[in-house]
Amino acid sequence: MTLHRLTSERFREGADEALADAELQANLARLRGNFLARRARARDSLPEFDELVDEAVGIKNHVLEHLDTYLVAFEEAVEASGGTVHWARDDAEARRIVLNICRDAGASTVTKGKTMVSEEIGLNAWLEQAGIEAVETDLGEYIVQLAGETPSHIIAPAIHKNRRQISALFNHHHTNLEDRESDDLDGLLADARQMLRGRFLAADVGITGANFLVAETGQTVIVTNEGNGDLTQLLCGVHVVLAGIEKIVPTLEDASTLLRLLARSATGQDMTSYTTFSAGPRRGEDHDGPEAFHVVLVDNGRTGLLAGPNRDLLRCIRCGCCLNACPVYAKVGGHAYGSPYSGPVGAALTPSLAGLARTSHLPNASSLCGRCEEVCPMRIPLPGILRRLRDEEAQRGASPPVMRTGLQLWSVIAARPWLYHPLTSLTTRLLALMGRRRGHLPHLPFTGAWTRTRDLASPAGATFQSRWKAGERP
């Protein structure tokens, strides 16, 4: 089981690059107003939001308790409506299944609606290798694909780019457009639309993800604001749905409960512009629709997660809300995480799926401020999970030795008052002497990580406790 293009071991370098990129910093600053403020308004205007959250958490917990039952029920319902369900244990199996479907359909071009699982398994590169062109049709994904990049945000893949950058990209790639539209927002949209229309009509296979899989009806559900998902799946001969096994909900009623939370948490909309339910291939009386309907259920580490202590992560509905709320994400952007999943949920999910060996920066690079947990509509205890991953790292003896030794030393001292008091008293007096004149400490060998970029206020003198013990009172 692997995650495609995993480069999380480079987190520190990626973060440094992001911090040095002024344009990226300005682009990321838009997150606050564009998503988080709208989410807050949407939440505040729905009095029953918290009850809805309770209900949604209950639904997902119930599903995770009985996942095997619901998955089999879903499979039966899909087959009853004329579709086919495939089970993929890992990324390699998922890629093989999709490629075989494409080959059987004689496909040379596939269009794709937004699917994070496709990023997870590295589907595009695999299809390209097999001579099949994969075209992303979500505007953000389309931009990212043109740029040869990966999505930097779960719901806003190109949030790291601004209009100027996108315009330059389109100018470079859309040379075959006769009337290049202007570089304003409408012009860029018209360009992309014109480019994609032909692709939709030429595609042999359409691949989408799924926001939900409805066990009772065998339907797959996607939400979009561009309608690209509908064109992807309706205009081609074969519709392939790629979905993680945790996307199951028991009933249509349950799907509608979760849908009420999804758009509000993601973009602050009451509903997305399009919510599409797909059930099987075209039937005799249908006007349109694909000839074949395949659902590929991807495990890729999820059953391991289900059996472990971080199971709550499987409740995630990929609204991206925790990314928008995260002050670390807001500074380093999505690419620094080196995983399809970035931000707090990515920092928790990536090591849980791919192991800690290459991803140990992710759970550590957090101030544990708790804002992600506060905004999560599925009440996933993200800081708690990050802490647990840190425990796991320490237990394997894999945490950085300097940090470890420092903490051990501090803990040994702190657990022994007879040692703590004389030692700290001596140290603070010494440091106070060093810093009294300026109010802050000079650069010392052990303070570099702080004092390179910040002053470090010097201690005031003797410790509070030594003064208290000596009888000083306010």
Q: Which is nearer to another protein, 146 or 332 (CB)?
A: 332
Does position 450 interact with another protein (CB under 8 A)? The reply is yes
Using CB under 8 A as the binding rule, whether residue 415 contacts another protein is answered as: yes
From 83-91, 92-100, 313-321, 365-373, span contacting another protein (CB under 8 A): 365-373
- The CA-atom distances, in angstroms, between 181 and each of 28, 85, 195, 288, 404 are 26, 43, 12, 32, 58
* Closest CB 375 distance from another protein, rounded Å: 10
Q: Please give the residues from 72 up to 131 whose contact with another protein meets the rule CB under 8 A.
A: none
Parallel/antiparallel/unpaired status of strands 212-214 and 219-224: antiparallel
- From 268-276, 296-304, 310-318, 385-393, span contacting another protein (CB under 8 A): 385-393
Among 72, 357, 407, 444, binds another protein (CB under 8 A): 407
Q: Which stretch binds another protein (CB under 8 A): 95-103, 134-142, 154-162, 392-400?
A: 392-400
Give the residue with the Cβ less far from another protein, 211 or 360: 360
Question: Which one-letter DSSP state was computed for residue 204?
Answer: S
Q: Is 440 helix (H, G, I), strand (E, B) or coil?
A: strand
What's the token pair of residue 10? 């480079």
Q: By CB under 8 A, is residue 408 in contact with another protein?
A: yes
| Residue 380 interacting with another protein (CB under 8 A) | no
Nearest Cα residue to 77 out of 217, 211, 183: 217
367 sits near another protein (criterion: CB under 8 A) = yes
Show Cβ contacts of residue 433 under 8 Å, excluding neighbours closer than 6 positions: none
- For another protein, which residue of 67, 177, 413, 434 counts as binding (CB under 8 A)? 413
Which residue in the set 106, 309, 417, 422 belongs to the binding site for another protein (CB under 8 A)?
417
Is 452 a binding residue for another protein by CB under 8 A? The answer is yes
Q: Out of 173, 190, 390, 434, which residue is the one contacting another protein (CB under 8 A)?
A: 390
In the list 445, 453, 470, 471, the residue contacting another protein (rule: CB under 8 A) is: 453
> How many Cβ atoms are within 10 Å of 257's Cβ, its own excluded?
18
Site for another protein in 26-55 (CB under 8 A): 32
Burial class (CB in 10 A: 0-12, 13-18, 19+), 181: middle
How many whole angstroms separate alpha carbon 222 and alpha carbon 474? 64
Q: Does 424 bind another protein (CB under 8 A)?
A: yes
Virtual CA dihedral for 70, 75, 76, 80, nearest 10 degrees? 140
Binders of another protein in range 310-339 (CB under 8 A)? 327-328, 331-332
- 66 vs 331 by CB, closer to another protein: 331
At CA 30, angle to CA 29 and CA 33, rounded to 5?
115
- Alpha-carbon distances, residue 45 vs 130, 274, 290, 316 (angstroms): 50, 21, 39, 23
Sign of CA dihedral 393, 396, 397, 398: negative
Interacting stretch for another protein, rule CB under 8 A, among 12-20, 163-171, 202-210, 244-252? 12-20
Q: Which is nearer to another protein, 202 or 369 (CB)?
A: 369
Phi/psi for 171 (5° steps) reads -60, -40
Figure out which of the listed residues 12, 96, 103, 197 binds another protein, where binding follows CB under 8 A.
12
Q: How far apart are CA 319 and CA 327, in angstroms?
A: 17
- Sign, CA torsion 306/312/315/320: negative
Q: Which is nearer to another protein, 198 or 308 (CB)?
A: 308
Q: Which stretch binds another protein (CB under 8 A): 69-77, 103-111, 251-259, 435-443?
A: 435-443
How much of the chain is helix, strand and coil, in % rounded to 5?
55, 10, 35
355 near another protein (CB under 8 A): no
> Of 356, 355, 358, 366, which Cα lies nearest the Cα of 345?
366
Residue with tokens 């890729």, as numbered in its chain = 300
Single out the residue of 391, 405, 442, 443 in contact with another protein (rule: CB under 8 A). 391
By CB under 8 A, residue 414 contacts another protein: yes
Number of residues that bind another protein (CB under 8 A): 72
Residue placing its CB nearer to another protein in the complex, 32 or 193? 32
Residue 399 touches another protein, criterion: CB under 8 A: yes
Q: Which stretch binds another protein (CB under 8 A): 59-67, 68-76, 136-144, 384-392?
A: 384-392
